[in-house]
Amino acid sequence: MGQYYFPTILREKNGRYFSEQFYSHDYDNGLKLMEHSYVGNDFTETVLSQLHHKPGRLAWIGDYAEKGDFAELHREDGDAALEALEAAFFRHYKAFGLRKGKKYTHPEAVSDFSASRFILNHDKKVFIDMRKYCEKCPETDWGATIHPLPLLTAVGNGRGGGDYGGELEEDVGCWCGDLIEVQDAKPNGYADVTEDCFFEES
The pLDDT tens digits for 106-158 are 788 999 999 999 999 999 999 999 999 999 999 888 889 999 999 999 999 99
Any idea of the CA torsion for 94, 96, 100, 102, to the nearest 10 degrees?
160
Does some domain include residue 180? yes
What pLDDT shows up at residue 161?
93
- Residue-averaged pLDDT of the chain: 92
Does some domain include residue 142? yes
- Neighbouring residues of 150: CB distance < 8 A, sequence distance ≥ 6: 5, 7, 33, 36, 37, 44, 60
**CB atoms inside a 10 Å sphere around CB 36:** 24
The pLDDT tens digits for 12-36 are 988 889 999 898 998 999 999 999 9
Does some domain include residue 201? no
Does some domain include residue 118? yes
What pLDDT shows up at residue 133?
97
Whole-model pTM: value is 0.94
Does some domain include residue 115? yes
Per the CB < 8 A criterion, the answer to whether 138 and 199 are in contact is: no
Residue bearing the bigger pLDDT, 7 or 102: 7
Q: Per mean pLDDT, which range of 40-49, 58-67, 105-114 is the poorest?
A: 105-114
What pLDDT shows up at residue 78?
79
Domain count, the chain: 1
What pLDDT shows up at residue 97?
62
Does some domain include residue 202? no
Is 105 a residue whose pLDDT tops 70? no
Range of the domain at 128: 5-196
Does some domain include residue 47? yes
Nearest of 97, 135, 129 to residue 193 by alpha carbon:
129
